[in-house]
């Protein structure tokens, strides 16, 4: 369904003489000037948007926290010649950081380096005591934990008591009880502002760069994974994350890692590597990689990102990912449809439980519901004898603080400001459901108008859009520009596709494309305009722009 909004929901920038003056001064297109002027105030901010700071200089200035030097010392004595166990997490950030940790350990001379990622459905997030007992029994010397571990006090203490060396690279909020460990590298504890914006993969990669764990030429090849994880975790695109993501995507375009290349070829056949961007990663690559941990176990995603095995083995792993993603889409669509039907029929609870839901896919569904309805949702399902849930909140709320206030009811909880997870005993669920629902319904949602630029699609040329890409990469904190075009007397509609599900909105010589919008447009009254974004499209060997409808504006 295409989102519907009114003019009151929009902050419309209308280019004028000021925009044209800026275009002349910066020697750029009016389109690029409009994007700059709509989101920056003054020359300094123009330059910050146009010119991403040098990555090497930013890495030299980055402060990951006081534990970083101690972690380096421990790594140098606890990895070369040792049996190393890497423990990760099941999302793309967890899988990417697991792959980097394995490669760092192997190339640092570890005698053995293996990994484990917990089953999202039966075990859940974090380093678990049961897993720790098996690791200890197998006699490993060193434990490297990525994208979790900061709050797993019991399991970490078990490892240390058994004589293991422990290093943790994490980025999750450090509320409540946390591990007391000199080699816990988590910028949320005492890192600088840029470090606090990093995902776990970027924390590990930046630490390895600063600590000179490997030659820079080897570390550079791993930057693709840091960029992938930054996009996946929707990390704020401050100067460092913009640089990491931009350079990582450049490397993907020049020479993508073997597994990424095979996955991209299956997802985007015939598209050149030059078309790889943050949108293709977030819309195509990342859902596939995440599907492994959501529907099954994350090992197949590790196999693909590691790029190991024969060409046939790697292709089998890619095919398995594609199949898992199809299953995830089908299950998610059915659950979303059921929840939305309940909401339309008057369901008011924002905490929803179903005994048949697969817990692994609930976080993505909660995110979608939160975005579509602009209110908080918690979804929960049975898991391993208890109940596990996921919480998503809109701008202005804090998921971690909400769960912190319910700490006495929860077995475990953690996450980020906008997204968090929790587990609870079945006997405590009824009370938690009531209290959490009360908290969610009392959240005051910030209604911030969406910033859009009034610009006709026939004025957005390929060359002008290439200039806009200089302001990227786009994402959290630096959104992809959205454009508005009003309905006028020239507007006509034409069906698109064999089944007539899609519609072309025609403006003179150009057209917007409304995917799956034919029926909705026909029954929507009072249409006054459209929100759209350009998307590069490859057709018969030629790349051109398509203008995709992303919103219907009504009176």
Q: Are residues 461 and 434 in the same domain?
A: no
Among 424, 441, 458, identify where a domain stops: 441
Residues 6 or more apart whose CB falls under 8 angstroms from that of 223 comprise: 205, 244, 247, 248, 251
DSSP character string of 173-201: ---SS----TTEE-HHHH--HHHHT--HH
The answer to whether residue 423 sits within a structural domain is yes
Among 421, 441, 461, identify where a domain stops: 441
Q: Which domain holds residue 236?
A: 57-255
The answer to whether residue 193 sits within a structural domain is yes
User: What is the Cα–Cα distance from 42 to 45, expressed in whole angstroms?
Assistant: 6
Residues in the chain: 555
Q: What is the DSSP letter of 112?
A: E
Which CATH number belongs to the domain containing residue 525 in this structure?
Answer: 2.40.50.460
pLDDT for the residue numbered 428: 96
Of 243, 216, 198, 165, nearest to 96 by C-alpha is: 198
The answer to whether residue 215 sits within a structural domain is yes
Q: Are residues 140 and 240 in the same domain?
A: yes
Q: Are residues 210 and 110 in the same domain?
A: yes
pLDDT for the residue numbered 226: 98
The answer to whether residue 50 sits within a structural domain is no
User: What is the Cα–Cα distance from 170 to 223, expressed in whole angstroms?
Assistant: 17
- Rounded mean pLDDT for each run of 10 residues along the chain, 555 residues in total: 89 94 90 89 71 90 98 98 98 98 98 95 89 96 97 96 98 87 96 97 99 96 97 94 96 95 93 92 96 94 95 96 96 93 90 94 92 92 91 91 94 88 95 96 86 94 91 91 91 86 85 92 92 90 91 93
Cα–Cα distances in angstroms (integers) from residue 141 to residues 77, 78, 82, 163, 216, in the given order = 11, 7, 6, 8, 27
pLDDT for the residue numbered 121: 81
Q: Are residues 401 and 471 in the same domain?
A: no
The answer to whether residue 512 sits within a structural domain is yes
Q: Are residues 483 and 409 in the same domain?
A: no
pLDDT for the residue numbered 168: 98
User: What is the Cα–Cα distance from 321 to 456, expressed in whole angstroms?
Assistant: 39
Q: Are residues 129 and 247 in the same domain?
A: yes
pLDDT for the residue numbered 42: 66
The answer to whether residue 530 sits within a structural domain is yes
* Neighbour-count burial for 104-142, b at 16+ CB within 10 Å, e otherwise: bbebbebeebebebbebbebbbbbbeebbeebbeeebbb
pLDDT for the residue numbered 422: 94
Q: What is the DSSP letter of 163?
A: T
Of 249, 241, 205, nearest to 97 by C-alpha is: 205
Of 394, 422, 393, 390, nearest to 406 by C-alpha is: 422
Is the bond leading into 473 cis (omega within 30 degrees of zero)? yes
The answer to whether residue 295 sits within a structural domain is no
The pTM assigned to this predicted structure is 0.91
Q: Are residues 178 and 106 in the same domain?
A: yes
Which CATH number belongs to the domain containing residue 184 in this structure?
Answer: 3.90.1640.30
DSSP character string of 118-149: --TTTT-SS--HHHHHHHHHTT-SEEEEES--
Among 255, 270, 301, identify where a domain stops: 255
Cα–Cα distances in angstroms (integers) from residue 495 to residues 296, 449, 471, 515, 539, in the given order = 39, 32, 35, 10, 19
Q: Are residues 435 and 458 in the same domain?
A: no
The answer to whether residue 262 sits within a structural domain is no
pLDDT for the residue numbered 158: 97
Q: How many domains does the chain have?
A: 3
pLDDT for the residue numbered 41: 64
Q: Are residues 386 and 512 in the same domain?
A: no
86 and 114 in contact (C-beta within 8 Å)?
A: yes
The residues facing 127 across adjacent strands are none
């Amino acid at each position: 369904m295409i989102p519907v909004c009114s003019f009151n929901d929009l902050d419309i920038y209308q280019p004028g003489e000021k925009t044209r003056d800026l275009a002349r001064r910066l020697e750029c297109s009016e389109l690029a000037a409009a994007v700059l002027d709509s989101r920056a105030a003054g020359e300094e901010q123009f330059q910050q948007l146009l010119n991403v700071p040098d990555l090497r200089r930013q890495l030299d200035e980055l402060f990951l926290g006081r534990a970083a030097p101690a972690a380096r010392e421990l790594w140098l004595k606890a990895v070369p010649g040792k049996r190393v166990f890497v423990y990760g997490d099941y999302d793309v950030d967890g899988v990417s950081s697991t792959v980097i940790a394995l490669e760092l350990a192997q190339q640092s001379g570890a005698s053995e380096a293996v990994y484990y990622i917990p089953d999202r459905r039966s075990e859940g997030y974090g380093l678990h005591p049961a897993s720790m007992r098996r690791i200890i029994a197998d006699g490993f010397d060193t434990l490297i934990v990525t994208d979790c571990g900061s709050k797993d006090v019991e399991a970490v203490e078990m490892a240390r008591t058994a004589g293991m060396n422990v290093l943790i690279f994490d980025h999750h909020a450090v509320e409540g009880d946390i591990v007391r460990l000199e080699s816990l590298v988590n910028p949320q504890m005492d890192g600088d502002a840029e470090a606090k914006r990093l995902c776990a993969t970027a924390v590990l990669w930046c630490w390895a760069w600063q600590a000179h764990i490997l030659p820079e030429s080897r570390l550079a090849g791993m930057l693709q994974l840091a960029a992938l994880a930054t996009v996946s975790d929707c990390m704020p695109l401050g100067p460092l994350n913009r640089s990491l993501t931009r350079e990582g995507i450049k490397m993907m375009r020049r020479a993508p890692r073997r597994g990424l290349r095979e996955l991209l070829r299956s997802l985007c056949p015939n598209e050149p590597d030059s078309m790889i961007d943050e949108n293709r990663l977030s819309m195509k690559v990342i859902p596939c990689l995440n599907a492994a941990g959501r529907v099954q176990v994350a090992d197949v995603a590790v196999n693909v990102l590691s790029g190991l095995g024969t060409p046939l083995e790697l292709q089998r792993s890619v095919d398995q990912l594609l199949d898992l993603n199809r299953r995830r889409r089908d299950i998610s669509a059915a659950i979303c449809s059921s929840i939305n039907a309940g909401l339309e029929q008057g369901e008011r609870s924002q905490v929803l439980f179903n005994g048949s839901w697969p817990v692994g896919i609930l976080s993505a569904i909660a995110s979608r519901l939160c975005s579509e309805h602009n209110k908080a949702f918690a979804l929960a399902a049975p898991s391993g004898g208890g109940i596990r849930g996921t919480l998503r909140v809109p701008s202005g709320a804090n998921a971690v603080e909400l769960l912190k206030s319910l700490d006495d009811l929860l077995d475990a909880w953690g996450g980020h400001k906008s997204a968090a997870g929790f587990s609870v005993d079945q006997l405590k669920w009824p009370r938690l459901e009531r209290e959490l629902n009360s908290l969610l319904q009392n959240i005051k949602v910030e209604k911030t108008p969406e910033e859009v630029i009034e610009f006709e699609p026939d004025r957005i040329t390929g060359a002008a859009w290439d200039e806009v890409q200089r302001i990227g990469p786009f994402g959290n904190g630096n959104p992809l520009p959205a454009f508005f075009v009003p309905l006028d007397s020239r507007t006509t509609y034409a069906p698109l596709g064999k089944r007539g599900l899609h519609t072309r909105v025609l403006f003179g010589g150009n057209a917007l494309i409304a995917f799956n919008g034919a029926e909705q447009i026909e029954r929507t009254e009072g249409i006054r305009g459209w929100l759209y974004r350009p998307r590069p499209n490859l057709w018969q060997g030629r790349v051109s722009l398509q203008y995709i409808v992303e919103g219907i504006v009504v009176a």
